[in-house]
Each structure stands twice: as structure tokens, then as C-alpha cells.
């Protein structure tokens, strides 16, 4: 074996180790195509607060408020609070058009969605307001008519935190849209669905959320300390550390909107990754020591190492590509015939990475094909474009790791008027 072949074997072994570490995921994936058990209906006697952080969201706010007004759940038991930063925000007047809807104006910018929730819960405590549960929904969401009813049934089934399912308002094959949409396929359909069906805590990421008063009022006394850039991930840690039961319910659906330009998509993922770093730093030490019947065995292993195996594979491929490229150039300059092997290896690695990411994209689209609602042309475009969306995570990861100041940036919405009429 020549030097390049030895180097190739070493990187291949590391790659295989990463794959082996990820094989446990087959246990999670076998639940992906199975219909989730439908929970029994519960009396509609609980009073809920629906919290909607809505910084400059007047373009989309009517859609979610109309969706809430059409719920099959008893409307008199739903009280909506839209959190804005400016009394002059057009959202304030829009809220006046809907029953049981209040625009809550903050005195200053909270800096994050978690900060907005913290501010309104502090006001609730001061005013002695009580609710049986608290929904947290993004302003661009449009809930299906049965959304609240299904979330209510899940809470009444003995859960403390419920995460609903997501559908894209406007299916697209554009890489940034398809990649963002498939993120929820990988997190929920290929992960949280298995956890819920086996009575284990979910990985809390994204929205829509419903949190019981047992958590907000009794355990926390209205004190919301999840104010990082990824308050949902912090909530997941809180569930596992303090014994709260979390649950994913795929039938409780909201239509949401994904970023449709790469700049917005990068900013959103930068916030997610930075939020992961913050949450891990804040909770990981305590989480590792915690023993919970809701997160044991393979499920705790997954919580700890779900990102390790992909990271090993990604770093291995990236380093192998870099080493091959450098060797091809150096050997070419020195006239070493091994430059041909290194050049062929570089090209093969590039195609290999692209094929691997394309396969992962196709796998996600097949698993959630009904929910994605994509046309054949959108499938083709997503298959070819989405791998570049995944590759972007490499620079995003390192930027998030070393950037000290990352703020809660606004995502512009473009499908408002048309979708609100659905």
C-alpha cells in the first residue's frame, strides 16, 4: 500500500465508526411510517392562554388569529395574548378585531422569544392570572381547526409539555425551504414519534408548544428562566432534569413558514446552533447526572450522542477532502505520481459527500412525503439543492461557536395574504 492508500484506509475506518455509532437510530426510524396512537378525547373544560411573540409580525398575525377563532375547542376557554414591542405596531389594532385577544406591549425589547415569554408571565403573576395551560406559538403559524383540541387531549393524557406537528404553508423544492422543512422530519417523525410511543421524553425543539400550569405556575411560580436563543431546547433539559413528562403529537398540526432566502435561513440556523451551545453549557453537567424513567437507556444515549456520530462523519469527510486536496497539489508540484491518486480521491470524496447528503434528503422526503405535499418537480429540485443547505452547517457551526453576540433576528414573511385565506 502506498502512503495515500494508508491515509484513505484510516479515514475510512473513522467513517465506519461514525456509521456504527448511528445504527441505533434504526430503532427510532421504524416508528416513522406507523400512525401514532390517537389519544382519547377529554372534556373541553380547561382554560388556556395562547402566547404569541410577535415582533413586527403584522403581515402574518391575522392568519394565526383567524385560525384560533375557528378552533373546534371551546372558544370561551381560549385567551390569546399577542406580545409586541411597540404600541404603534399595526398588530395592536388587528388584535382588537378578535374575541378574547389582547395585544401585550413590552416596555423594552426582550432580546429573544424566551425573553418575551418571561415578560408576560411576570405580568400574569403580578395580576394573579391563572390558566390550566400555556400555548407558545410562532406568529407565522396557522393552526388547523382541530389543533387546540388535540393538544388538549395530549395534555389531559398525563403530559406536562406537548409539542405539535408542523406542515409547510408553501411547499417548495428550493434548497433552503426544503432543508428547513426536513429539519422537522428528522427531529419529530424520525425521533420524537418513537420517544412518545414508548413513553419517553421528547427532544423539545421548535413549536407549537403547550405547557401545563403544573410547570409554569406550580413548579416555576411564573418564573421563566429559559431566555437563551433556543428556549425550546432549554425546556427539554428542564423536563428531563426535573421529571416533567413531554410528548409529541403528530395530529396537532400547524401550518408554518420556512425562510425562503439563504440569508434568512443562515441567520435562523446560526441562532439555533448558538442556542444549542448555550443550552448545553447551562444544563449538560446536571443532565448527565440525572436519572429519569422518561429518558433512560437508548433514549438517554440518543440525547447525549445524537449529534456526535454525524459530527464524526462530517469532520472525517471534511478532513479527508482537505488532506487529499493538499497532497494532490504538493505531490503535483514535486512531480510525485501519487498526485493522480490524490486528485482522483479528492473528486471521489466530493461526489461521495454529495451522494450521502442527497440520499439523506431523499430518505427524509420519502418518510414524510404526505406532510411535505411537494410536487414531482419540487422533489427533483430539493434532491439536488438541499445537500448544499446541509453543507452550510459547517461554517455556521464554527461561527456560532466563536461568535459572542448573536441576536434574535427577524425573518421576513412573503406568503401572508394568500395563506391567511386558506
Q: Write down the pLDDT at residue 421.
A: 38
Interstrand relation of 78-84 and 101-105 (parallel, antiparallel or unpaired): parallel
Q: Write down the pLDDT at residue 407.
A: 55
Helical ranges in 79-227 per DSSP H: 91-95, 113-127, 147-156, 175-184, 193-197, 213
What's the pLDDT band for 274 if we cut at 50, 70, 90? confident
Beta bridge partners of 166: 254
Distance between CA 266 and CA 398 in Å, rounded? 13
The overall average pLDDT reported for the chain is: 88
Q: Write down the pLDDT at residue 208.
A: 92
On whether the CB atoms of residues 152 and 257 are closer than 8 A, the answer is no
Distance between CA 167 and CA 254 in Å, rounded? 6
Q: Write down the pLDDT at residue 31.
A: 94
HSE of 276, CA atoms in CB hemisphere, 13 A:
17
Judged against a pLDDT cut of 90, whether residue 221 lies above it is answered with yes
Distance between CA 408 and CA 85 in Å, rounded? 13
> Residues of the chain with pLDDT > 90: what percent?
55
Interstrand relation of 161-168 and 209-212 (parallel, antiparallel or unpaired): antiparallel
Q: Write down the pLDDT at residue 182.
A: 92
Q: Write down the pLDDT at residue 85.
A: 82
On whether the CB atoms of residues 188 and 254 are closer than 8 A, the answer is no
On whether the CB atoms of residues 20 and 308 are closer than 8 A, the answer is no
What's the pLDDT band for 27 if we cut at 50, 70, 90? very high
The C-alpha cell that represents 288 in the structure block: 448527565
- Mean pLDDT for the stretch of residues 318-336: 92
Name the one residue in this structure whose C-alpha cell is 413528562.
245
Lowest mean pLDDT among 57-61, 226-230, 325-329: 226-230
What's the pLDDT band for 110 if we cut at 50, 70, 90? low
Judged against a pLDDT cut of 60, whether residue 417 lies above it is answered with no
Name the one residue in this structure whose C-alpha cell is 465506519.
16
Amino acid at each position: 500500500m502506498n502512503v495515500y492508500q494508508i491515509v484513505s484506509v484510516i479515514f475510512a475506518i473513522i467513517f465506519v465508526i461514525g456509521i456504527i455509532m448511528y445504527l441505533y437510530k434504526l430503532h427510532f426510524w421504524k416508528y416513522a411510517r406507523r400512525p401514532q396512537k390517537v389519544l382519547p378525547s377529554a372534556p373541553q373544560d380547561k382554560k388556556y392562554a395562547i402566547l404569541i411573540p410577535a415582533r413586527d409580525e403584522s403581515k402574518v398575525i391575522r392568519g394565526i388569529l383567524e385560525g384560533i377563532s375557528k378552533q373546534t375547542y371551546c372558544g370561551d376557554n381560549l385567551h390569546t395574548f399577542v406580545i409586541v414591542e411597540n404600541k404603534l405596531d399595526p398588530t395592536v389594532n388587528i388584535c382588537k378585531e378578535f374575541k378574547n385577544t389582547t395585544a401585550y406591549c413590552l416596555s423594552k425589547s426582550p432580546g429573544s422569544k424566551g425573553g418575551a415569554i418571561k415578560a408576560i408571565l411576570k405580568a400574569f403573576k403580578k395580576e394573579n392570572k391563572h390558566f390550566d395551560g400555556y400555548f407558545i406559538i410562532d406568529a407565522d403559524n396557522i393552526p388547523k381547526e382541530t389543533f387546540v383540541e388535540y393538544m388538549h387531549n395530549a395534555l389531559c393524557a398525563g403530559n406536562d409539555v406537548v409539542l405539535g406537528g408542523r406542515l409547510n404553508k408553501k411547499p417548495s423544492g428550493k434548497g433552503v425551504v426544503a432543508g428547513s422543512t426536513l429539519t422537522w422530519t428528522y427531529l419529530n417523525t424520525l425521533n420524537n414519534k418513537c420517544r412518545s410511543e414508548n413513553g419517553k421524553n421528547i427532544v423539545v425543539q421548535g413549536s407549537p408548544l403547550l405547557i401545563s400550569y403544573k410547570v409554569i405556575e406550580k413548579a416555576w411560580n411564573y418564573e421563566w428562566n429559559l431566555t437563551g436563543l433556543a428556549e425550546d431546547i432549554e425546556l427539554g433539559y428542564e423536563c428531563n432534569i426535573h421529571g416533567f413528562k413531554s410528548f409529541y403529537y403528530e395530529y396537532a398540526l400547524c401550518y408554518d413558514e420556512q425562510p425562503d432566502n439563504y440569508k434568512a435561513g443562515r441567520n435562523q440556523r446560526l441562532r439555533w446552533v448558538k442556542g444549542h451551545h448555550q443550552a448545553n453549557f447551562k444544563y449538560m453537567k446536571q443532565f448527565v447526572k440525572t436519572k429519569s424513567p422518561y429518558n433512560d437507556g437508548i433514549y438517554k444515549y440518543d440525547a447525549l450522542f445524537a449529534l456526535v456520530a454525524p459530527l464524526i462523519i462530517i469532520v472525517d469527510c471534511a478532513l479527508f477532502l482537505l488532506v487529499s486536496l493538499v497532497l494532490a497539489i504538493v505531490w503535483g508540484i514535486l512531480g510525485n505520481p501519487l498526485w493522480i491518486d490524490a486528485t482522483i480521491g479528492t473528486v471521489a470524496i466530493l461526489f461521495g459527500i454529495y451522494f450521502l447528503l442527497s440520499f439523506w434528503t431523499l430518505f427524509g422526503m420519502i418518510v414524510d412525503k404526505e406532510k411535505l405535499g411537494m410536487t414531482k418537480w419540487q422533489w427533483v429540485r430539493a434532491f439536488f439543492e438541499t445537500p448544499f443547505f446541509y453543507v452550510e452547517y459547517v461554517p455556521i457551526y464554527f461561527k456560532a461557536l466563536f461568535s459572542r453576540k448573536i441576536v434574535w433576528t427577524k425573518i421576513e414573511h412573503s406568503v401572508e395574504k394568500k395563506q391567511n385565506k386558506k
